[in-house]
Amino acid sequence: MLSALFRSALPKYGRVVLPARVSIRTMSSSDGPASPYATLAVSRPAESVTHVELHRPKKLNAMNKAFWREMVECFNEIADDQDCRVVVVSGAGKMFTAGIDLMDMAGDMLQPEGDDTARISWNVRKLIARYQETFSVIEKCPKPVVVAVHGACIGGGVDLITACDIRLCTQDAWFQVKEVDIGLAADVGTLQRLPKVIGSRSLVNELALTARKMYADEAKSSGLVSRVFPDKEAMMAGALEMAGEMAARSPVAVQGTKLNLLYSRDHSVAEGLDYMATWNMSMLQTQDVMKAAQAAMEKRSPKEALFSKL
């Protein structure tokens, strides 16, 4: 396994203990995540910001069976957590992720249950759909999700980051749609989302069909990431600053913006406008508009307005 080649862990950023009133289950990652998550470390580094860290550093954050289940559980909780307004996702240790943990997943992938072809196929389809939900839950989460990539982002890592709203990386980062190298077509999101992230269909096809590496500068010029940082420390500081900017705004406005951006991505302009009108016929009936307008009239930053939880 690729994960056996490296052994390191980088410093952690801005971890504080969540107050008791917060519903998100939290764990320290100084010595690895504690129960209930075996593959994730969750913290609250700033007010209204939740940090989800992939935490199998000795395995290069390879995605094992527990990971596929825990991401769904974690983001379902985040979606309902009124104290969280923005999420930052990163990886512990040497790299963001080495992708699927083939050793751990081989049983499910190569020996599916079933008495005949029909039943085996039925179970494989259910399995793939369950794995797809691991990243779709990020996209469905109403809170904006910023992902910060360092080192390598391989295979399933590309599926993960294309489901996020904002992508950042370090100068040494590289990305690889790896699936054709292991004999399959990527089936949990990359082939569906990457064409909507990168403007060039030719480039998407090249990356998916050749499994070549894309480095940070090309990732930025193609639109896969919006910012490149010199190192992980600077990237995490930038990610948390960006998250803080969003968390300080009206959650009605921010979450409504995310949901309408996603709807408009998958529908015509006319359909998007109609959905927006229907959305705002209720969402404009909020005190947040008056609070933001008052702050503007008083020449105060919108971050100084106090918005209720959502």
Same topology, domains 2-247 and 251-304? Answer is no
pLDDT reported for residue 293: 81
Distance CA(186)–CA(172), nearest Å, equals 24
CATH superfamily of 251-304: Lyase 2-enoyl-coa Hydratase, Chain  A, domain 2 (1.10.12.10)
Going from N- to C-terminal start, the domains of the chain cover 2-247, 251-304
Specify whether 138 is catalytic. no
Class for the domain spanning 2-247: alpha beta
Sign of CA dihedral 149, 234, 261, 285: positive
Of the listed 73, 77, 108, 187, which one is catalytic?
187
The whole-angstrom separation of Cα 91 and Cα 59 is 11
pLDDT at residue 188, rounded to an integer: 93
The one-character DSSP state at 164 is: S
In angstroms and rounded to an integer, the radius of gyration of the C-alpha atoms of the chain is 20
Say how far apart CA 245 and CA 209 lie, in whole Å.
Answer: 38
pLDDT at 46: 94
- Whether 80 is catalytic is no
Is residue 159 part of the annotated active site? The answer reads yes
Residue 107 is predicted with a pLDDT of 67
Instruction: Mark out the alpha helices in the chain (DSSP H runs).
Output: 65-80, 102-110, 117-140, 156-162, 190-197, 201-210, 216-222, 232-247, 251-265, 269-283, 287-297
Q: What is the pLDDT of residue 57?
A: 96
274 is catalytic: no
Out of 159, 165, 189, 198, the active site residue is: 159
Structure tokens at 135: 């990243």
Query: Residues of the chain whose pLDDT is less than 70?
Result: 1-35, 107-109
Per-residue pLDDT, 13:
38
pLDDT of residue 23: 42
Residue 197 Rama label (left phi>0; alpha psi -120 to 50; beta): alpha
Catalytic residue among 156, 157, 189, 256: 156
Told to judge if 120 belongs to the known catalytic residues of this protein, a careful annotator would answer no
